[in-house]
Amino acid sequence: MMIDPVAFAMPDARDGLYESFYFRGTSLDGRQAFWLKHNLLRRHGERGVTVENALIIFDRKTGEAEGVYDKEDMSPQAFAAFAKGHHWENTSANFASGSFFDISREALRGKLHTSRGTASWNLQLKRSDDVLYHFPHEQFYRLPWPKKKVITRDCFLRFTGRLSCAGLEAEGEFIGMNGHNWGTEHAHEYAYADCNLFREEPGAYFDGFSVKLALARGLVKTPFLSMASLKLDGHWHHFNAISQVWKQRVNALDDYRWILTLQNATHRLEVAIDGQNPRVEPWVALHYDHPDGRRSVIKNTKFASGRLRLFMQGSNEVLRELNSDYFELETLLPGNLPTAKGYVGIP
């Protein structure tokens, strides 16, 4: 049996760790999307934990993306009280600024009141409880390697309610997902994407990544290591065998694009995702802190266009083709430098 997808990882950290429990939703009319993130950070050699909360709203019609965040340092005693419920779906936090968030199985509530702007949300949740474990074996979630752990806690999550962020407002019904990741450092370079709004098949879901890891204190970089899973017609196609991760072919990976071909014992999957650029689609840049004090810049949109083509092994006949304009695409390139001291930057 796999580990609990909502259990806190931070209390078991021996030293530095980051952890994120986040939600993504797209409005049913396809115009707006939101990204609600709850982050924890324990730096190397420290016992206290920094909690960070951010809301970003994307508007496809206007091309805007607005984000507001707040953070607070917790003493070991304060963090113990915060994590006393042992899992993310039974927790809340109150900041000295007046900001707060509350997470339960049925609802999300919160408010950010900062000098950088204000935001609020009140959402009711209808869960599918369809969990995706990206790694094929439980030990990869318990052992030190890989350093970054990824779980999609809910692949088909429906939200009803209202959000506002720095002047942008979104209200009504949304469809999205709930993710949970943690690790001792962020990857050296990566692309990540997910989608559950396909034109051809409403029950389909895709989730995957390509990553380069830095080894020997950064002196050595791995080739791209790739994993992905596709749910189609109620059946999961997993492309996550450890023996194959370095063989999956990455054809392109840059700030706004990810193209690769994945293979398993029975099928081949071609993935082509294009986020265009910030002048065409709304993007946001966030600054991710590493436990060792370094910072990385990630770029993210909820409105990338993508195509998936599934083949039988050894055949060029397309079994299924799936298309969507609602891929989440996130990239981290090591050459991108932080542009601000805060969490939200300029894409």
* Structural domain for 234, as ranges: 16-345
Q: Is residue 3 part of a domain?
A: no
**What does the block give as tokens for 305?**
């266009």
Count other Cβ atoms within 10 Å, centred on residue 241. 14
Q: Is residue 55 part of a domain?
A: yes
Handedness of CA 257, 229, 25, 41 (dihedral sign): negative
**Helices (H), strands (E): how many in the chain?**
2, 24
User: How would you classify residue 147: left for phi > 0, otherwise alpha for psi between -120 and 50, otherwise beta?
Assistant: alpha
Contacts of 42 (CB under 8 A, 6+ apart): 10, 13, 15, 16, 17, 18, 48, 49, 50, 291
Q: Is residue 162 part of a domain?
A: yes
Class of residue 303 by CB neighbours under 10 A (exposed 0-12, middle 13-18, buried 19+) = buried
pLDDT at 240: 97
* Distance spanning both ends of the chain, measured CA to CA: 40
pLDDT tens digit sequence for 234-277: 999 999 999 999 999 999 999 999 999 999 999 999 999 999 98
Half-sphere exposure of 223 (CA within 13 A, CB side): 9
Q: Is residue 5 part of a domain?
A: no
Class of residue 34 by CB neighbours under 10 A (exposed 0-12, middle 13-18, buried 19+) = buried
d(Cα 168, Cα 164) in Å, to the nearest integer? 6
The pTM score is 0.97
d(Cα 246, Cα 236) in Å, to the nearest integer? 21
Class of residue 110 by CB neighbours under 10 A (exposed 0-12, middle 13-18, buried 19+) = buried
Q: Is residue 4 part of a domain?
A: no
Question: Could you tell me whether strands 107-114 and 257-263 are parallel, antiparallel, or unpaired per DSSP bridges?
Answer: unpaired
H-assigned helices in 62-118:
76-82
d(Cα 91, Cα 81) in Å, to the nearest integer? 10
b/e map 193-202, b = 16+ CB within 10 Å: bbbbbbeeee
Q: Is residue 1 part of a domain?
A: no
- Number of domain units in the chain: 1
Q: In Å, what is the CA distance from 344 to each residue of 27, 251, 271?
A: 23, 30, 29
Is 196 in contact with 157 (CB distance < 8 Å)? no
pLDDT at 1: 65
b/e map 142-155, b = 16+ CB within 10 Å: eeeebebbbbbbbb
How confident is the prediction along the chain (347 residues), in pLDDT tens digits per residue? Answer: 689 999 999 998 889 999 999 999 999 999 999 999 999 999 999 999 999 999 999 999 999 999 999 999 999 999 999 999 999 999 999 999 999 999 999 999 999 999 889 999 999 999 999 999 999 999 999 998 899 999 999 999 999 999 999 999 999 999 999 999 999 999 999 999 999 999 999 999 999 999 999 887 777 899 999 999 999 999 999 999 999 999 999 999 999 999 999 999 999 999 999 999 888 899 999 999 999 999 999 999 999 999 999 999 999 999 999 999 999 999 999 999 998 888 998 77
State the greatest distance between any 2 C-alpha atoms of the chain, in Å, as a whole number. Answer: 60
pLDDT at 214: 87
- For the chain, give the number of residues: 347
Is 197 in contact with 326 (CB distance < 8 Å)? yes
Nearest partner of 273 among 205, 213, 192, 200, judged by Cα: 192
**What does the block give as tokens for 129?**
């409880």
